Amino acid sequence: MPAMLEVNNVGKTFILHHQGGVHLRVLEGVDLVVEKGEAVVLSGPSGSGKSTLLRILFGNYRPTSGSVLVRHAGELVDIVAAAPRTVLEVRRRSLGWVSQFLRVIPRVTTLDLVTDPMLARGIDRGVARRRACAMLECVGLPERLWSLAPQTFSGGEQQRVNIARSFVDPPPILLLDEPTASLDAVNRDIVVDLVGEARAKGATVVGIFHDEAVRERVASRIVDVTGFTPQKAAS
Amino acid sequence: MTGVATMPADTGSLLEARLVSRRYGHHIGCEDVSFTLWPGEVLGIVGESGSGKSTLLRCLAGLDRPTAGTVAFRTGDCMTDIFAIPEQERRALMRTAWGIVHQNPRDGLRMSVSAGGNVAERLVDGGERHYGRIRAAASEWLTRVEIDRARMDEPPSRFSGGMQQRLQIARVLVSGPRLVFMDEPTGGLDVSVQARLLDLLRALVRDLGLAAVIVTHDLAVARLLTDRLIVMKSGRVVETGLTDQVLDDPQHAYTQLLTSAVLAA
Amino acid sequence: MTGQIPSGDAMPTVNYAYLDEQTKRMIRRALLKAVAVPGYQVPFGSREMPLARGWGTGGIQVTASIIGPDDKLKVIDQGSDDTTNAVSIRRFFARVANVETTEATGEATIIQTRHRVPEHPLTAGQILVYQVPQPEPLRKLEPSELETRKMHAWAEYGLMHVRLYEDIARFGHVATTYSYPVLVNGRHVMSPSPIPKFDNPKMGQSPALQLFGAGREKRIYAIPPWTEVKSLDFEDRPFEVQRWDEPCALCGAADSYLDEVIIDDAGGHMFVCSDSHYCEERRKAGHAGAMLATSTGGKLAASNGGDR
């Protein structure tokens, strides 16, 4: 199986200039290869650097050292060294980020929110719209809400919008940042099913799940991040 | 962190700033700013008041000549140094190839000319001489920026601040520019009006494949609209990168200060 | 032309045609430049004249600079030879330049005008001098002089069409009826001074030389003979001149510019030629409009033509 993600000797130290210039060493010597079709779940206690590593994989945090190769358009691209526009292109086509938070421009309707990621990938507007509708139905969001902006929705409804938006057109690599953290049982099951569906279509998954049961259902491999935690890490 | 000076020249770039400086006597407006903008990209310039954001924008948009450095814009197959060409040609580019949305609508609109006439101007500048077509295009663009057609023949002095900003956008976009400069486009607007404008800008940028350079001190606006950020302090660039990188993992002391004020909440 | 006019008993001596020779030379240089670049506004050092700025000082200075004892001068104000302004200026030049004056368009060598082009076709050798209050056609839309100069320099004239657009959008048609902007020689947009747009077509390919003087704004411009003058318009809204439903009530002319004249307290009105000389000539030649049949009309006609 080809490697979809290849992390080589990645380290991350935060320098907090406004807190006495303290150096916060969070990760050291991270080596990790994720092959196509795998579902890797990062584990470790709070503060062990799971979230930091996941963000580095997405190109959101910039590692202090090392490289992160991501398979994009058939090639491995180092998103640490790549030009910003290359990173954006990798994210648009190959690398998806799913969190529990819906962070969007106010006033955009639910249907547009779910359609947008597909339009950005150049999918025809009509096709995108049909798939968006199907997805919203799948997550069980009442149709009367589709033409409204989700800011006024209940917490559960907003989560469904977020799930729909994230899984409507899953890219080859999915990074999941505790997407089930605050979901009720029904929504949690929907997410687990959708991850399964995405994997069945060939998606590769790396994620963080606090829920023991969900972790067991999703993971094909569990990676303990404490192995990458520096000995004298600040607590 | 991506070093701006080492950014490779790309054959498809739209705008290239190289070591752009603008001094007012001994006072530094902006100094040694370099970056490359590609078609369809939205670049944010952030920093506090007086950090040189607007000075830089004026240089990039051809309004003020830099005291040093070059600003090159793609015209056809080659990059044109916009301050090396005659003012006449630069003005022609400013009317067609790019547009400027000013912070104060009075700087970007003709307040005594109707909303439709404001939109019509860039069309007739471009040589259009058919009233019916001009009228139709103006009407269509006003609708696109959510201004009621019934108000087409009213002067913008009767419009609200949000409508005036949207009219500026219509006036600029009607001529199909490839690049739009915006100076604090949501400054002075209510939060709900801001949201509407942001939504509109986001959709226009996506649908038209526009590139944009947006000056703002509002990091929330920057996060929602921009792909990349340049952080400025005292006229200099202190940090650049993808917007989420700069805001979530700021490296420079100044950026950390800037983001902590917002994200700590 | 340097000779001084004979001074009367109490009259102080003034130079021929009022202006000193240096000033006339300066204005002639400006005129030459204006003729060389048709439609271009040439700045000049406008002098104080013995009447207030805004009363035709630009036109008077141009006339003073080109007039000689052999000239025959006609002065009209809105087409009329006998309004106060026209009479005063005519008398002024008769006195300071010792020239013959006339009301006959065909006889005059120099015609100074405010707001009209005579109906009688001009001929080669004649000079029409316009009094111009505001020479800058872009001024209403662009207040900055620096900016309007750049716009002229680079022929950035989109704004003129914005002005026409505004008219059509607001009134359904181009409501500008005077000072209607023209493009001269395919290059410079020019204000024709506030003549009615009815007269615009007469400016193009005219055998006469047309000079424009704006005293307050200190600008001179010109249209040399046989120059193309195009009134600005849209492809789908071509330029049109005013039309009237009825001919001149006095002379019956259907091809001239008509003024509306109120004739009684009951709202009665008639349309008569604005060009008083043209109207008079037609009546002399036996043409008669509807009004001449009635007694009121007869009286009006008599007073109109009878001040000589």
Written as tens digits, the pLDDT of chain B (265 aa) is 333 333 344 568 999 999 999 999 999 999 999 999 998 899 999 998 889 999 999 999 999 999 999 999 999 889 999 999 999 999 999 988 999 999 999 999 999 899 999 999 999 998 999 999 999 999 999 998 889 999 999 999 999 988 999 999 999 999 889 999 999 988 878 777 787 788 888 888 878 889 999 999 889 889 988 999 999 999 999 999 999 999 999 999 999 998 887 544 3
CB contact under 8 A, B7 and A108: no
pLDDT confidence band for A119 (50 / 70 / 90): confident
pLDDT given for residue C140 in this prediction:
85
Contact across the interface for B242 and A120, Cβ inside 8 Å: no
- Angstroms from C157 CA to nearest CA on chain B: 7
**pLDDT given at position B199:** 80
| pLDDT (0 to 100) of residue B213 | 96
Residue B40: predicted pLDDT:
87
* Three-state secondary structure of chain A: CCEEEEEEEEEEEEEECCCCCEEEEEEEEEEEEEECCCEEEEECCCCCCHHHHHHHHHCCCCCCEEEEEEEECCEEEECCCCCHHHHHHHHHHCEEEEECCCCCCCCCCHHHHHHHHHHHCCCCHHHHHHHHHHHHHHCCCCHHHCCCCHHHCCHHHHHHHHHHHHHCCCCCEEEEECCCCCCCHHHHHHHHHHHHHHHHCCCEEEEECCCHHHHHHHCCEEEEHHHHCCCCCCC
Interval C277-288: pLDDT, tens: 999 999 999 999
Q: Which of A85, A101, A77, A70 is nearest to A4 (CA)?
A: A70
> Active-site residue C56, yes or no?
no
Q: Which of A88, A107, A116 sits opposite B195 (nearest CB)?
A: A107
Chains that touch A (3 or more CB pairs under 8 A): B
Chain B interface test: which of A10, A26, A58, A62 (most B C-beta within 10 Å): A62
Distance from CA of B3 to the nearest CA of C (A): 40
Sorted by sequence, the CB contacts under 8 Å of residue B11 that are 6+ apart come out as none
Taking contacts as CB-CB distances below 8 angstroms, the residues of chain C near B110 are: 141, 162
- Running DSSP on this structure, what letter comes out for residue C290? G
Which tokens belong to C74?
């006609």
| Averaged pLDDT for residues C69-86 | 94
CB contact under 8 Å between A119 and B206, yes or no, is yes
What residues in chain C have their Cβ under 8 A from chain B's Cβ atoms? 141, 150, 153-154, 156, 158-159, 161-162, 165-166, 168-170, 234-237
E strands present in C240-296? 258-262, 269-273
C279 is catalytic: yes
Q: Which residues contact B79 (CB under 8 A, 6 or more apart)?
A: B13, B16, B72, B73
What mean pLDDT value characterizes chain A? 90
Amino acid in the structure at residue C74:
K
pLDDT attached to residue A28: 93
Catalytic residue among C59, C79, C251, C289: C251
Among chain B residues, the shortest Cα distance to A103 is held by: B224
**Contact exists between C and A (3 or more beta carbon pairs < 8 Å):** no
Note the pLDDT of residue A10.
95
Active-site annotation holder among C59, C252, C279, C297: C279
User: What is the complex's ipTM, to 2 decimals?
Assistant: 0.88
Average pLDDT, chain C: 90
For residue A96, the distance in angstroms to the closest alpha carbon of chain B comes to 14
What is the mean predicted confidence (pLDDT) over A63-68? 96
Smallest Cβ distance to B129: which of C162, C170, C235? C235
Predicted local confidence at residue C232, as pLDDT: 96
- Taking 70 as the threshold, does the pLDDT of residue C294 lie above it? no
Point out the catalytic residue in the list C56, C248, C252, C297: C248
Residue B257 to residue A17, Cβ atoms within 8 A = yes
Instruction: Tell me which residue in B227, B249, B253 faces A18 most closely, judged by beta carbons.
Output: B253
Q: Which structure tokens are listed for C16?
A: 């021929």
Find chain B residues with C-beta within 8 A of C158's C-beta.
95, 121-122, 124-126
Nearest by CB: A105 against B2, B195, B252 = B195
Q: What pLDDT, on a 0 to 100 scale, did the predictor assign at position C296? A: 47
- Residue C245: how many other CB atoms lie within 10 Å: 5
Mean pLDDT on C138-153: 92
Q: Which residue has the tokens 């259009």?
A: B128
Q: Which residue of A has its CA nearest to B245?
A: A60
Compute how many other C-beta atoms are within 10 angstroms of the C-beta atom of residue B225. 23
The reply to whether residue B121 touches residue C150, judged by beta carbons under 8 angstroms, is: no
Nearest Cα neighbor of B242 from B53, B46, B43 is B43
Residue B162 and residue B156 in contact, taking contact as beta carbons nearer than 8 Å: no
Q: Nearest C-alpha of chain A: how many angstroms from B245?
A: 5
* Chain B residues inside the 8 Å CB shell of C150: 87, 91
Contacts of A85 in chain B (CB under 8 A): 38, 41, 227-228
Tokens of C154: 């680079």
**Pairing relation of β-strands A39-43 and A204-208?**
parallel
CB-nearest partner of C154 from B88, B113, B129: B88
- Alpha-carbon distance B40 to nearest alpha carbon in chain C (angstroms): 29
Say what angle helices C21-36 and C57-66 make with each other, to 10 degrees. 100
Q: Which residue carries 């589709």 as its tokens?
A: A146
Give the tens place of pLDDT for each residue, A177-219: 988 887 888 888 989 999 999 999 999 999 999 888 889 899 9
Chain B nearest CA to A105, separation (Å): 6
Nearest residue in chain B measured CA to CA from A20: B253
Determine the residue among B244, B255, B257 to mutate to test chain A binding: the one whose Cβ has the most chain A Cβ atoms within 10 Å: B244
Which residues in A lie closer than 8 A to residue B257 (C-beta atoms)? 17-18
C58 carries an active-site annotation = no
Best B13, B43, B186, B256 member to test A by mutation, with max A CBs in 10 Å, is B256
Arithmetic mean of pLDDT, A63-77: 94
Residue of A nearest to B249 (CA): A61
Nearest residue in chain B measured CA to CA from A63: B1
User: Between A and B, how many residue pairs show a Cβ–Cβ distance under 8 A?
Assistant: 61
Shortest CA gap B260–chain A (Å): 10
Q: Do B245 and A60 touch (CB under 8 A)?
A: yes
Q: What span, in angstroms and rounded, lies between the C-alpha atoms of C108 and C123? A: 10
